[in-house]
Chain A
Amino acid sequence: MDKGRTLVDPIVDNNPITLQILGICSALAVTRTLLPALIMSAAVISVLAFSNVAVSLLRRQMPHAVRIIIEVTIIASGVIVVDEFLRAYLPDVSRVLSVFVGLIITNCIILGRTETFAMGHGPWPSLLDGIGNGIGYSLVLVAVATARELLGAGTLLGRPFLPVMEEGGWYLPNELMLLPPSAFFLIAAIVWWFRTLKPAQREHTVISAVPGRFQEGGDG
């Protein structure tokens, strides 16, 4: 795979959220308004890039038996640094994101990338892979947050965008959009749309009810 593909591939063709259905939890939690979603995206991109590069640099020395715990240690350190940084320079957003920055540690996308990509590639492709997957995640996060804030409150980044009825406009905000389930509907719609455009992304394995026949899946 050439370098450009490493960066671009995870954005659409191999998007961690829509194709692999990873990282869903935070995508539900921090997408009520656009600003926290943007900051969260930046945080995830930096943690992914940092941990991918660090794991890649250490990969030849990494003892196989303890590699997961080493990877998690590196990820956790990166997350703490990002969290402290947000608390210092963006305290208001940091309060909205609350525990979800810390929970980046458990975001499957990060461990997924360090384990499957960085362990087998050099630091430069790993950096690109980290950034690419981060952007892929961010794309979905920002799309969901934009839809939720716009339809739920009529604003974008806190600025009025659709004239709401309360202030004499014509738009009646859909308050369902402010509740967590709406993120599920929106992500499902995005997955559906992606897979309609790219039929190759459709899953051909059918999850059978017979025990021992589960083929694919993921959580987040």
Chain B
Amino acid sequence: MKRGGVVHTLVFTFCVALGCSVLVSAAVGWLRPVQERYASIDRDRRVVDAAGLKAADEELSDREVAERFEQLDVRLVDLDTGEFVAAEDPGDYDYLAAAESDTESVPIPKSENKARIGRRAPYMPVYLYRAEGELQRIVLPVYGRGMWSTLKGYLALEADLETVGGLSFYEHGETPGIGDFVEKPDWQARWVGKQAFDEEGEPALGVAREALEPGDPATRYRIDAMSGATKTARGVTGLLQYWLGDYGYGPLLERLREEESS
């Protein structure tokens, strides 16, 4: 083989490419489990926070997160019926991947597609916090389209399943300085105590379209809009209405409410 000839060039290039791909695959294969472990602790940390098991100024170590997460009852819920279904590791159910999959995902009717996600997974994980057998809080993963990309977060409801315990977003692609308030603690704190449903039991939680006067009945369900971020606000309202509605957690919440009153 002549150095620099066509055959030599091809063989050499092929060998280098092969060597490099083996190196990269080996590294990824070896490091992936470590990355996944971290991602799962990170997720549990956010759930623990949303469940109200952490004080605002508290920094939790990985072990503390695991301990507090143990107090939660993690269930996989069938969104159509609102029933819990048996699952090995409900918290590890990848609902975003299931919503993308052709075989598993369920289409959302156009009129109900308020979160603008189009399709959803058949199941969703939910986290129940009980103290002395009584339900204290339920944490519901929520997501939907914002201005540029998907807003992902957790909505927590109090024991009455109507009062908001908290709303937080952990991932978003909103415009820095305009729509990125969704990740700010003071904005997230405004949701606490709002009612998720109106008198007719319809989802009413959201961001107000116009400024609210104090004492306006809408302040029960709505927080004030932020100027300049119309689309972000619409995205947040849309996803809340969707997930609290009949195609989201509506059936589950109804079932839990009936169980509680009986």
Interface residues of A (CB under 8 A from B): 58, 61-66, 69-70, 73-74, 76-77, 80-81, 84-85, 87-89, 91
| Residues in A whose Cβ lies below 8 Å from that of B24 | 77, 80-81
**Measured between alpha carbons, how far is A77 from B16 in the docked complex, in Å?**
11
Instruction: Quote the shortest CB–CB distance from A74 to chain B (angstroms).
Output: 6
| Residues in B whose Cβ lies below 8 Å from that of A61 | 3, 12
Instruction: Quote the shortest CB–CB distance from B71 to chain A (angstroms).
Output: 25
| Residues in B whose Cβ lies below 8 Å from that of A74 | 16, 20
Instruction: Quote the shortest CB–CB distance from A168 to chain B (angstroms).
Output: 19
| Residues in B whose Cβ lies below 8 Å from that of A76 | 20
Interface residue? B211 (CB, 8 A) = no
Asked if B27 contacts A63 (CB within 8 A), the reply is no
Chain B residue with minimal CB distance to A63?
Answer: B9
| Residues in A whose Cβ lies below 8 Å from that of B13 | 63, 66, 69-70
Asked if B27 contacts A84 (CB within 8 A), the reply is yes
Instruction: Quote the shortest CB–CB distance from A125 to chain B (angstroms).
Output: 22
Cβ contacts A to B, 26 pairs, < 8 Å = A61-B3, A63-B8, A63-B12, A64-B4, A65-B9, A66-B9, A66-B12, A66-B13, A73-B16, A73-B20, A74-B16, A74-B20, A77-B20, A77-B24, A80-B28, A81-B23, A81-B24, A84-B27, A84-B28, A84-B35, A85-B31, A87-B31, A88-B34, A88-B35, A88-B38, A91-B38
Number of residues from B at the complex interface, CB < 8 A: 20
Number of A-B contacts (CB under 8 A): 53
Asked if B27 contacts A85 (CB within 8 A), the reply is yes
Interface residue? B212 (CB, 8 A) = no
**Contact residues of A: prevailing secondary structure:** helix
**Measured between alpha carbons, how far is A73 from B20 in the docked complex, in Å?**
7
Asked if B34 contacts A62 (CB within 8 A), the reply is no
| Residues in B whose Cβ lies below 8 Å from that of A77 | 20-21, 23-24
Instruction: Quote the shortest CB–CB distance from B57 to chain A (angstroms).
Output: 15
Asked if A88 contacts B17 (CB within 8 A), the reply is no
Within 8 A of A (CB), among B1-59: 3-4, 8-9, 12-13, 16-17, 20-21, 23-24, 27-28, 31-32, 34-35, 38, 42
| Residues in A whose Cβ lies below 8 Å from that of B17 | 73
Instruction: Quote the shortest CB–CB distance from B104 to chain A (angstroms).
Output: 28
Add 18 more A-B contacts to A69-B13, A73-B17, A76-B20 (CB < 8 A): A61-B12, A63-B13, A65-B4, A66-B9, A70-B12, A70-B16, A74-B16, A77-B20, A80-B27, A81-B27, A84-B27, A84-B31, A85-B27, A85-B31, A87-B35, A88-B32, A88-B38, A91-B38
Which of A61, A63, A80, A85 has most chain B Cβ within 10 Å? A63
Instruction: Quote the shortest CB–CB distance from B140 to chain A (angstroms).
Output: 25
| Residues in B whose Cβ lies below 8 Å from that of A66 | 9, 12-13
| Residues in B whose Cβ lies below 8 Å from that of A81 | 23-24, 27
Asked if A91 contacts B35 (CB within 8 A), the reply is yes
Chain A residue with minimal CB distance to B5?
Answer: A63
Q: Across chains A and B, which 6 residue pairs bring their CB atoms closest together, nearest first? A: A77-B20, A88-B34, A63-B9, A88-B31, A81-B27, A88-B35
**Measured between alpha carbons, how far is A84 from B9 in the docked complex, in Å?**
30
Instruction: Quote the shortest CB–CB distance from A101 to chain B (angstroms).
Output: 14
Chain B residue with minimal CB distance to A50?
Answer: B23
Instruction: Quote the shortest CB–CB distance from B211 to chain A (angstroms).
Output: 31
Asked if A63 contacts B34 (CB within 8 A), the reply is no
Instruction: Quote the shortest CB–CB distance from A192 to chain B (angstroms).
Output: 33
Asked if B28 contacts A63 (CB within 8 A), the reply is no
**Measured between alpha carbons, how far is A73 from B16 in the docked complex, in Å?**
8
| Residues in B whose Cβ lies below 8 Å from that of A70 | 12-13, 16
Chain B residue with minimal CB distance to A76?
Answer: B20
Q: Among B3, B31, B32, which residue has its beta carbon within 8 angstroms of that of A63?
A: B3
| Residues in A whose Cβ lies below 8 Å from that of B42 | 91
**Measured between alpha carbons, how far is A70 from B9 in the docked complex, in Å?**
11
| Residues in B whose Cβ lies below 8 Å from that of A88 | 31-32, 34-35, 38
| Residues in B whose Cβ lies below 8 Å from that of A58 | 16
**Measured between alpha carbons, how far is A63 from B15 in the docked complex, in Å?**
13
**Measured between alpha carbons, how far is A66 from B35 in the docked complex, in Å?**
35
Chain A residue with minimal CB distance to B42?
Answer: A91
Question: When A74-B20, A84-B27 are in contact, do A62 and B12 touch as well, CB less than 8 Å?
Answer: yes
**Measured between alpha carbons, how far is A65 from B3 in the docked complex, in Å?**
11
Which of A58, A62, A77, A80 has most chain B Cβ within 10 Å? A77
